Structure 1
Amino acid sequence: MNWEVTHKNPKVVAAFTAYKTFVLDIATHYAGSRLIEHLDISSLGDESQLAISDNYPEPVTTIRTIGELRKSFDSGEYSQLCLRQATIQLCTAFEVFFNSISEIYGISDNSLELVQVTYKRISTSPIKLGNKTIKQIRKLHKELSFESALNYDEVLAKITSIIETRNCIVHSAGIVPDAGKLIRLSAYAMHHKIGDQLFIPSNSLDDFLHYMGIHIIGFVKNLP
């Protein structure tokens, strides 16, 4: 993806650069986790210890073992954990960016109205979106009188799906809690049932990263 973006306002450029750096750091971290999964650790005994700090004497230091790590690899739990943590960070980067842009342009959080979108692929009825960042995006386009693909109903529905993935992880321990989230998750082909443990396909993180990134780039290019 071409991350080269110019804008007349240096504050916008700084906000975008911070976003890009954050996202690429997330990608580096996740790539490292995938590398670890593919390393041959067969020569290490299952009882070999992995301390998570050296701040305390051994009896009070949190210890994991190679066997526990190997079991996490084999079950797919490690991969899901890394995908979940990276998704949380991607959404954080996205939200921080739009907080910065709203501040730069003096768009307050007051009177952020619910966003209503139509996306017939997932619902024949209009869908109301209440996420603060989604509301900021629509208000920025309205108040600054410009347009970008990020403001399209389908795009906002899909961005919401990514954010709802994060919300399920953070607010309901990875469980899909209700019908509203089912509908919003399905916009990005995340199909579950109420009460399911959220499952993120291995390629989804790159999809999420590109989808958010591409639309932020288009947003910045059209931003007055």
Structure 2
Amino acid sequence: MTTKIWINLIILCLLKAASSLSGPSEVKSVVGETVHVSCQYHKFNRDKVKIWCRGYHWYFCKVIIRSDQPKHLTSDVQILDDKNLGLFTVSMKGATAEDSGWYWCAIERASRTLTFRLRLTVSEWLVSRLKTETTKQYNKTSTSPTTLTTPRSTPCMTQTTGLISATSKSTSVTVSLAQDDPVWKVWRVLRWMLFLFLCLFLVLFSIRCHC
């Protein structure tokens, strides 16, 4: 009876793994870039047809590309199916803001089509933001040499170095005085005595246990 239960559990696990399809729940990109979306599947479905579909509901979505159709029909959208890794990747060239929306990774099977929904966001404001940050960094880099080469920079650095040296000296004096303190000397002796007492106690305790 136990053997049958284990066999049924193994079969259920295999069926569950074979019906799995996963990928990113959300993908973000910039206008003009190539969007790459990868969906992972079980190797049981390596020879099945892979589908890339657009729409909020699967039953009403528009099929953009299938892995069994010629590549020249959709030059801007391609499917690369790596059957050894169990991974198919959809590439969308020259993404626009109108490409934003809901999409489906799907695997066509005779019993039930496997589907996975994700959301794609292609933003235009990211482009202007990146340009602004690049301009700021360029302006900052171009003006930084003038700020660094001031005539009074050397004296300030010399004074700062002197302060650092004085601080380090005062710190070393404080440490040496703390070590010469009588309380510190007594603590060092007591520390070793406590350590020896603990060792002796452990030895006597072990001898007593063996007796």
Note whether the superposition's TM-score is higher than 0.5.
Answer: no
Q: TM-score, normalised by structure 2?
A: 0.22
- More strand as a share of residues: 2
Q: TM-score, normalised by structure 1?
A: 0.21
- More helix as a share of residues: 1
